[in-house]
Amino acid sequence: MAAALVGGLAVAGAAIFGATGTAVAAGLGVIFALLAGASLSRAITRTSDGASPIPAAESGHRINPGGPPELRTLARAVNRMSGAISGLTESESKERSRLASVLDAVQEGVLVVDREGVVESANPAAIMLLGAPGPFRPGLLLTNLTGSFEIHEAAVYCARAGVPRQAQVGLPDRSYPGPGGIRRLLDVTATPLGAQSGPGRALVLISDITGIRAADTTRREFVSNVSHELRTPIAAIKAAVETLQRGAAADPAARDDFLRRVQEDADRMEALVSEMLELSRLESGQTPLHLAPLDAGRLIESVADRFKHQAAGAGLTIRTEPGGSAHVNADLRQLERVLSNLVGNAIKFTPTGGSITLSVQQSNGTVSLQVRDTGRGIAPEHLPHVFERFYKGDQPRNEGGAGLGLAIARHIVQAHGGIITVESYPGLGALFTVSLPALSAL
């Protein structure tokens, strides 16, 4: 542009003033060219300075499209590019936020680990499941998050070999103090990430399967216990039938005795099956409750009266302490079943000359129905397990029954929104307490 201006002035000067004019015009052209060049330089500098913040993706930043037409065109192109970069950056930021929100909400642990065992990212569930102390910082070694060699080996092997790896790992649950503690069982699956995610990296998924394993253990124990409980009466019935077939049926007295035994064992099996079905319905919530206002004092009087003759036959005294007016919203038949189970156990395991007391207390919106006996009591190591199904760890209380009564009682009480507890010491009897919301508190 400057060269064209100089040439034009030289031609014009030569035509008007000759050689001298040509020299003067050339000098003026040089001056004008320098001025134009300085202006152009300043415009370019402004454009360059305006474009400097673009790599930082400053939202809304634009260049002032001043100067010659060429620079104005360039400035507008740069402004369009800046807008596109800003939009892409904002979109990527939103996607990252959405991904982070999803990972934070996932119940399973998610880790990204490289071939050296360095953790690049981890969601809160992973930190919690691994029991890692302190906040997570990218760049930590996996061994700093967990002391489990199995988890580290699975992640590093997967990242280096590009082969999926799976393991089940037991970790101490630090939320339970004490030596050894309760272990948390984790299922760990390491999967190699694709080539687009970079070489030598593994996605590690961690799931807590403690509850699943416990449920599976409970199922196996349930089947084993049922088989054991049924095996005894079945064997007794088979033995009685075989004895009758070998000639005992000819003796009226022996025949009647064996038939009585068969009837008792059949009744025992029927009771066991009925209790198992009832417990199954309670656990699955298939037993409806017919709730109605009940006077707790009258309820314990009714239960005590029902067991009065049975207690007297065992040489025991049964009495009640109503404790004033106390009402609950409950299913009469189901609550009677709970108290009948507690009183029946108390009669069975209290020596002659002892006593059983039913009482009612109301405090802080809670009605407590209590059954206290002066029997053998329960050893401390058995107390945490007395409400478990089929549990009969206290050997003196192993007389009769399949160990389902207290488990059924617990589920009935829980269905009413209450809790059932036990206090006992060997030789000092036991106190069972059923706590339910008072009717006024509902």
Please check whether residues 134 and 24 belong to one and the same domain: no
pLDDT grade, residue 210 (50/70/90)?
confident
Give the mean model confidence (pLDDT) for residues 119-130.
86
Instruction: Classify residue 213: in a domain, yes or no.
Output: no
Instruction: Classify residue 36: in a domain, yes or no.
Output: yes
Vertex 329: Cα angle to 327 and 335 (nearest 5)? 95
Please check whether residues 299 and 273 belong to one and the same domain: no
Q: What percent of the chain has pLDDT over 70?
A: 70
Give the mean model confidence (pLDDT) for residues 385-396.
69
Residues 155 and 202 sit within 8 Å (Cβ to Cβ): yes
Please check whether residues 202 and 332 belong to one and the same domain: no
Helix (H, G, I), strand (E, B) or coil at 403: coil
Please check whether residues 56 and 125 belong to one and the same domain: no
Give the mean model confidence (pLDDT) for residues 343-369.
91
Query: How much is the mean pLDDT over the chain?
Result: 77
CATH number at residue 247: 1.10.287.130
Residue 73, pLDDT above cutoff 90: no
What's the whole-model pTM score? 0.53
Q: What is the pLDDT of residue 305?
A: 93
Long-range contacts of 233-237 (CB under 8 A, 24+ apart): 233/265, 233/266, 233/268, 233/269, 234/265, 234/269, 236/261, 236/262, 236/265, 237/261, 237/262, 237/265, 237/266
Q: How does pLDDT run across 22-34, given as a tens digit for each residue?
A: 444 444 444 444 4
Q: How does pLDDT run across 147-168, given as a tens digit for each residue?
A: 788 899 999 999 999 899 998 8
Q: How far is the C-alpha of 144 from the C-alpha of 127, rounded, in Å?
A: 11
Q: What is the pLDDT of residue 5?
A: 44
Residue 399, pLDDT above cutoff 90: no
Please check whether residues 322 and 434 belong to one and the same domain: yes
Q: What is the pLDDT of residue 86?
A: 66
Please check whether residues 296 and 280 belong to one and the same domain: no
Domain boundary among 142, 175, 208: 208
Please check whether residues 65 and 131 belong to one and the same domain: no
- Residue range(s) defining the domain that contains residue 204: 106-208
| Segment among 69-78, 273-282, 367-376 with least mean pLDDT | 69-78
Please check whether residues 310 and 428 belong to one and the same domain: yes
Instruction: Classify residue 201: in a domain, yes or no.
Output: yes
- Give the residue with greater pLDDT, 16 vs 330: 330
Give the mean model confidence (pLDDT) for residues 109-121.
90
| Segment among 8-12, 116-120, 329-333 with least mean pLDDT | 8-12
Please check whether residues 78 and 142 belong to one and the same domain: no
Domain boundary among 172, 193, 208: 208
The secondary structure of 274-311, three-state, reads HHHHHHHHHHHCCCCCCCEEEEHHHHHHHHHHHCHHHH
Q: What is the pLDDT of residue 23?
A: 44
Please check whether residues 429 and 361 belong to one and the same domain: yes
Residue 178, pLDDT above cutoff 70: no
pLDDT grade, residue 65 (50/70/90)?
low
| Residue matched to tokens 């009677």 | 336
